[in-house]
Amino acid sequence: MKKKLIVLNTTIMLGLGSAFAIPSVKAESITDIQSQRTGIQSDISEAEQVIQELKKEQTKMNAQIAQIESAMKENDQKIKDTKQEIKDTEKDIDSLKKEIKALEERIAKREEVLKERALSFQESGGDVEYLEVVLGSKSFGEFVNRVGAVATIVEADQQILREQEADKADLEKKQATVEKKLQSLKDMEVELKGMQSQIKDQKAETVKMKEIVGKKESETKALKQSLENKDAGLEAQIASIRENIKKEEERKAAEKADLDRAAEEVSSSNSSNDGSSSSSSKESTSASKAESSASGSSKGEASSNSSKSSSVDKPAAASKPAVSKTETSSKPSSANTGSAITAGYKYIGNSTYKFGGGRTASDIANGQFDCSAFVAWAYKQAGVNLPASTGALTSAGRQVSKSQMQPGDLVFFNTYKTDGHVGIYVGGGKFIGSQSSTGVAIANMESGYWASKFNGRVVRVN
């Protein structure tokens, strides 16, 4: 009986040991997986931040494209209006041609009248002067009559000549006015078409940048989805392990209960016959309970989740966009360039490009400028008078090299023509100007569209 009891106690102890050893190992697996999840969730958070930044960039670009499309629509309307004016002016020219023909006919008739009057005073074979006509009279009465006739003819001739000269002068004036208007409209049409081409180029570049940002956003979303899937898989693993631990604990608890009952039965049946065996059985049971308590403590420690961070490689596409910083130069031009530069800041995002605008109080109040008028207005705020045309601004100061550029210098760009656009350099590779696609804005001249159009001309206002 004593030998039977020892075997039973050994079985109980082995059963209890295995009951708590297996959950402890599985708890360590949960800790490892939870540590992986912590790292993945950190990566998901960073990917979400990048996505939000890219969404902001997309929103900004959409607004810029909308502004460019608005400028294109307005420019298209100006081109249509100009073409209509050209047609109207061509009609005026056609009408003028009819007037010219009528004037030419009147002039021709007057010439015929003059010829007829000259012939009436001709003698056979040649012309006769008015004096000869008068002196050739045969009597005083005839002399008086001839003098009166000559005076009348001379006065009539002079009137015809005056009318002739007036008609010619009127004709030349009308012709010059209409031709000047037609040429002006044709020049405007060329300018507007050039500007439209420039705006389309800017839109194409912005759309291209939007596509790049969209691609980055898609890649980052794919990365985030991959991380979330991996995290969900790890979560499922943890749930599965916990379920297995629960089932294992229930099975071991049932097994332990059966062993405890068997031990009690053996102890009860032999208590009256063998005191020492009973004592040994109690000691064995006590030891088993102590071991169970220790195993329970170990289980509690193993099941606690420690937070460990794991690094997950991130693709370059998910990196956060760098924040650009505008550099400024400490060496201004000789004129009060600081005031000229800052004067236009109030119009940034609050203005529109207007061909020929910025030359009236109304345009200025409403922030409607073309590029040269904006430069002239900005410098006027600094007490410096400049012309309001790109051609004249190229000679508004002294030429300096690109390497010597300072804030306040005028910078020129070859857009639809040489020196077709002008702005004021603000430092850090940027300039402020009234652009056809954005109105007054600060633009980068070291990359993108304006870098390709900068012709190297730099004028320092004296």
pLDDT digit string, tens, across residues 309-348: 333 333 333 333 333 333 333 344 444 778 889 999 999 9
Res. 10: pLDDT tops 80: no
What pLDDT was estimated at residue 347? Answer: 93
Token pair for 189: 């049409």
**Which of the four pLDDT bands, split at 50, 70 and 90, describes residue 239?**
confident
Residue 156, pLDDT score:
63
User: What is residue 434's DSSP assignment?
Assistant: E
pLDDT on residue 422: 96
**Long-range pairs of 72-75 with CB within 8 A, sequence gap ≥ 24:** 72/196, 72/199, 72/200, 72/203, 72/437, 74/352, 75/192, 75/195, 75/196, 75/199, 75/355, 75/436
413 by DSSP, 3-state: which? Answer: strand
Q: List CB contacts of 243: < 8 A, sequence separation 6 or more.
A: none
Q: Percent of the chain, pLDDT > 90? A: 22
Ranges 34-48, 142-156, 168-182, most confident: 34-48
Rounded to 10 degrees, the C-alpha dihedral 31/32/33/36 comes to 120
Which band of pLDDT confidence, cut at 50, 70 and 90, is reported for residue 34?
A: confident
- Has residue 451 got a pLDDT over 70? yes
Q: What is the pLDDT of residue 150?
A: 54
Confidence of residue 355 (pLDDT cuts 50, 70, 90): confident
pLDDT of residue 350: 86
**pLDDT level of residue 433 (50, 70, 90 thresholds):** very high
Query: Which of the residue ranges 161-170, 185-194, 274-283, 325-334 has the most confident prediction, judged by mean pLDDT?
Result: 185-194
Task: Tell the residue number behind the tokens 């109080």, with chain if given.
Answer: 361
| Separation of alpha carbons 424 and 8, rounded Å | 98
CA distances from 332 to 338, 367, 402, 441 (A): 7, 26, 15, 20
Q: What is the structure's pLDDT at 456?
A: 95
pLDDT computed for residue 363 by the predictor? 92
3-state secondary structure of 322: coil
What share of the chain has pLDDT > 70, as a percent?
68
Task: Determine contact, residues 13/287, Cβ cutoff 8 Å.
Answer: yes
Judged by average pLDDT, the poorest of 31-40, 255-264, 380-389, 407-416 is 255-264
The pLDDT of 44-67, averaged and rounded, is: 83
- Paired residues of 413 in beta bridges: 421, 454
Extract the runs of DSSP E, i.e. beta strands, from 58-132: none
- Specify the residue for token string 């696609």: 437
pLDDT bin (cut points 50, 70, 90) of residue 303 is very low
- The conformation of residue 312, written as its DSSP 8-state character, comes to -
User: Do 388 and 448 contact (CB within 8 A), yes or no?
Assistant: no
Mean pLDDT of the 164-178 span: 78
432 bridge partner residues? 424, 442
pLDDT (average), residues 193-204:
76
Residue count of the chain: 462
pLDDT of res. 408: 93
> 58 pLDDT exceeds 60?
yes
Residue 41 pLDDT level (bands cut at 50, 70, 90): confident
Check residue 322 and give its pLDDT.
38
Residue 349 has pLDDT above 90, yes or no: no
Phi, psi of 424 (to 5 degrees): -110, 125
More confident residue, 397 or 122: 397
Segment 84-88 shows an average pLDDT of 84
* pLDDT at residue 373 is higher than 90: yes
Short-list 256, 82, 240, 100, CA closest to 175 = 100
Across all residues in the chain, what is the average pLDDT?
74
Highest mean pLDDT, choosing among 115-124, 177-186, 262-271:
177-186
What pLDDT is recorded for position 453?
A: 93
